[in-house]
């Protein structure tokens, strides 16, 4: 247990150092985060197999919530800093309490002696309720619908849109080794920078351990050489038009694809309801919804074209690199992004390159339709820590 706590503290230190470096460089919406404090150790989020994946920590300034930061606990995630959610007030204890109440009132389950957050389909969350160390119920956060039991799938088939699966158990050996190597290398450099700034390296403390205030880090943060960042706007003339994109919550636990298509069509001023889009994609009805099977991924591009009478030309890309996202956003075009078990849209990017590789960052501004009927904006998701299996681009075809 002591070893695990030490590992968590070291990962937190690395994440704080990285955040200070990125804010110093002018990334991550720096003005909003400067002067904020990370409330460590935060809430532990477990993998389906029981291991702790990451901690979600409240980010606040002057006692007021700014958002949250996800800090990796398990090295297989690939980097200490996973994601920054700005504008959301993280209250993990409240979610657990709400799950206990829903379990009693909706599912008749009251004999619970432990409850914990689980990434049942990373990064989607559920609350796992246990009695005597055994699960009695797992409820999706927000809807409090029961998460199905884990099923056996062919090795080459990704999870479906509302499915329990283990992030750790499904990593192949090569990917796991690469991620863990990168995590340890990055963690060592960043934690060392943090120690120098906070006095842990033997010098005088310049800053408190969880403060995001790069100006007080003196000359400890190495110089950044390149900062590129952009959000979608009404047009490519960023100076005279504001950010122009909105999140749409999926209306069922399995309609993430329909909601993602809806967000892109909204951007191009096509006002389709989610039920109409679901009907076009063959995803059932609100009363009897279904997800999009893996074998029909290509239907997304076809739907984008059909629902715009071919005014949009859409393309499906497999395992797209970061450059795909940055190029499309620079052209003022949103993308639909498939990760295992989920669909979201991408509406911005943040790329920071340093003289010290551990401080480099490639982040995506993700408009996520989950949780159902709400959605969430993740600003920013570390590209190095997720698996991007498909991207769908769309551009105006008429001239």
Cα distances (Å, whole numbers) of residue 52 to 185, 301, 334: 20, 37, 33
| pLDDT tens per residue, range 51-82 | 999 999 999 999 899 999 999 999 999 999 99
Q: Respond yes or no on whether the N-terminal peptide bond of residue 371 is cis (omega within 30° of 0).
A: yes
* Residue 7 confidence (pLDDT): 73
**And the tokens for 271?**
């006002």
**And the tokens for 138?**
């797992």
| pLDDT tens per residue, range 206-220 | 889 999 999 888 889
Beta strands in 94-177 (DSSP E): 114-121, 124-131, 134-140
| pLDDT tens per residue, range 159-199 | 999 999 999 999 999 999 999 999 999 999 999 999 999 98
Give me the residues of the chain with pLDDT under 70, please.
1-6, 29-31, 240-241, 399
CATH hierarchy code of domain 225-396: 3.90.70.10
Distance CA 303, CA 386 (A): 26
**And the tokens for 140?**
């999706």
* Domain positions in the chain: 1-221, 225-396
The two beta strands, 335-339 and 134-140, are unpaired
* Residue 232 confidence (pLDDT): 94
């Amino acid at each position: 247990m002591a070893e695990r706590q030490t590992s968590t503290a070291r990962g937190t230190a690395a994440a704080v150092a990285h955040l200070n470096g990125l804010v110093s460089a002018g990334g991550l919406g720096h003005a909003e985060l400067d002067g904020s404090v990370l409330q460590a150790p935060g809430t532990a989020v477990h993998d389906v197999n029981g291991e702790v994946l990451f901690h979600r920590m409240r980010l606040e300034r002057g006692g007021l919530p700014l958002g949250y930061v996800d800090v990796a606990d398990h090295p297989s995630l690939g980097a200490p800093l996973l994601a920054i959610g700005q504008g959301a007030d993280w209250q993990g204890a409240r979610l657990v309490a709400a799950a206990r109440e829903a379990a009693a009132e909706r599912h008749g389950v009251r004999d619970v002696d432990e409850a914990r957050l689980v990434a049942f389909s990373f990064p989607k969350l559920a609350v796992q309720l246990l009695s005597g160390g055994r699960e009695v119920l797992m409820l999706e956060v927000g809807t409090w619908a029961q998460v199905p039991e884990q099923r056996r799938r062919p090795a080459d088939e990704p999870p479906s849109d509302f499915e329990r699966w283990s992030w750790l158990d499904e990593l192949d050996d090569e990917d796991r080794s690469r991620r863990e190597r990168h995590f340890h290398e990055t963690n060592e450099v960043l934690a060392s920078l943090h120690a120098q700034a906070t006095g842990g390296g033997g010098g005088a403390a310049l800053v408190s351990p969880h403060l995001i205030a790069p100006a007080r880090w003196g000359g400890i943060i190495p110089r950044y050489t390149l900062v590129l960042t952009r959000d979608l706007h009404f047009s490519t003339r960023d100076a005279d038009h504001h950010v122009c994109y909105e999140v749409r919550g999926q209306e069922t636990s399995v309609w993430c694809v329909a909601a993602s298509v809806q967000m892109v069509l909204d951007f191009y001023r096509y006002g389709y309801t989610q039920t109409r889009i679901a009907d076009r994609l063959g995803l059932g009805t609100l009363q009897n919804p279904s997800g999009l099977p893996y074998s029909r991924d290509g239907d997304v591009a076809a739907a984008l074209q059909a629902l715009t009478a071919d005014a949009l030309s859409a393309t499906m890309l497999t395992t797209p690199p970061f450059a795909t996202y940055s190029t499309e956003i620079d052209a003022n075009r949103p993308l639909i992004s498939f990760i295992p078990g989920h669909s979201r849209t991408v509406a911005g990017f943040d790329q920071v390159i340093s003289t010290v590789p551990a401080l480099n960052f490639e982040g995506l501004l993700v408009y996520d339709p989950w949780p159902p009927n709400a959605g969430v904006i993740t600003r920013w998701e570390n590209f190095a820590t997720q698996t991007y299996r498909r991207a769908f681009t769309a551009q105006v075809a008429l001239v």
